[in-house]
Amino acid sequence: MQSADSRPVKVLILYYSFSAQTSGLVHRLGAGLEAQGVHLVYERLQPLTPLKFPIGTVLSTLFMMFITFLRVRISIQPLSSKCWEHYDLIVLAGPTWSYNPSGPVLSLFDRDGLKLFAGQQVLPLISCRGYWRMHWWGLRRLLERCGAKVVNKMIFVHPNKEPWRTIGVFLKLAGRVPERSRWLCRHYPRYGHSRGQQETAFAFGSAIGQALKGGTSLADISFVPGRTGLL
Ligand SMILES: Cc1cc2nc3c(=O)[nH]c(=O)nc-3n(C[C@H](O)[C@H](O)[C@H](O)COP(=O)(O)O)c2cc1C
């Protein structure tokens, strides 16, 4: 696929994923982009010391929630050289951690933010249990401080109802299997995003590819699940 000025359209999907939810979404998003002929590059942020999912115990899960609330950074390996090429769009994707971007994404901003995002069109994707607004405001501020043009946002929340969603995520992080618990499985059949949400991500990818191809604004796409398309 060529852009309006007949260059190939290139998109970088830069992401971090701890429990495979963001990863599942960005790969469906990427499939939608590729279906439109976009040249796609994935880059997953890799912590210097790999993090183990599940965290394992209730105490260590509470501890991680506390330090992530304090926005403690998690150092990451250097980005691969392909990240420094020109892209028509960077999709920056990752989970919410205690109302903030995750530690690896915060590290990315500290080290590479200015060089990576200045003058760049960026579309964030957030995967979370349900509480994304503070994350979104903080992320948009970080991107704008780096000189990025934040064109829109894609938000995916776990489809389960409260309070089961919070209980289920906490137990899952702590190493339990709530979806197989006799008392919880009726209210909490699955951790994370649904198949339907993954197909929504595919539709978003197609819509982004079409907009980039046609030279239309990504700000005009409705990224509300079920309402994909131009506003
Ligand atoms: C340490 C930690 C803190 C979290 N805090 C929040 C939060 O504040 N709000 C929320 O909606 N989800 C929160 N979550 C849930 C994740 O955002 C959610 O499970 C997400 O889908 C995980 O994506 P991933 O598998 O790509 O890492 C937290 C998860 C972890 C591990």
Q: Residue 229's pLDDT is what?
A: 54
Q: Is the pLDDT of residue 228 over 80?
A: no
Mean pLDDT of 202-206: 98
- Interaxial angle between packed helices 164-173 and 58-69, expressed in degrees from 0 to 180 and rounded to the nearest 10: 110
Residue 13 CA to ligand 1 center (angstroms) comes to 19
Q: Residue 7's pLDDT is what?
A: 78
For the stretch 161-173, pLDDT in tens is 999 999 999 999 9
- Ligand 1 nearest-atom number relative to CA 65: 1
Q: Residue 116's pLDDT is what?
A: 98
Q: Is the pLDDT of residue 190 over 70?
A: yes
Mean pLDDT of 58-87: 98
218: phi then psi, degrees, rounded to nearest 5: -70, -15
Q: Is the pLDDT of residue 80 over 50?
A: yes
- Ligand 1 nearest-atom number relative to CA 192: 21
Q: Residue 1's pLDDT is what?
A: 54
Grouping H, G, I as helix, E, B as strand and the rest as coil, residue 37 is coil
Q: Residue 231's pLDDT is what?
A: 45
Q: Residue 60's pLDDT is what?
A: 98
Q: What angle do CA 99, 91, 146 make, to 5 degrees?
A: 70
Q: Is the pLDDT of residue 66 over 70?
A: yes
pLDDT band at 83 (very low <50, low <70, confident <90, very high): very high
Share of the chain above pLDDT 70, in %: 95
Residue 6 CA to ligand 1 center (angstroms) comes to 40
Domain chopping of the chain, boundaries: 10-158+194-218, 160-192
Mean pLDDT of 80-92: 98
Average pLDDT, the chain: 95
- CATH for 10-158+194-218, among 3.90.110.10, 3.40.50.360, 3.20.20.60, 3.20.10.10? 3.40.50.360
Choose between 61 and 5: higher pLDDT: 61
Among candidate residues 203, 200, 167, the one with its CA nearest the CA of residue 184: 167
Residue 36 CA to ligand 1 center (angstroms) comes to 31
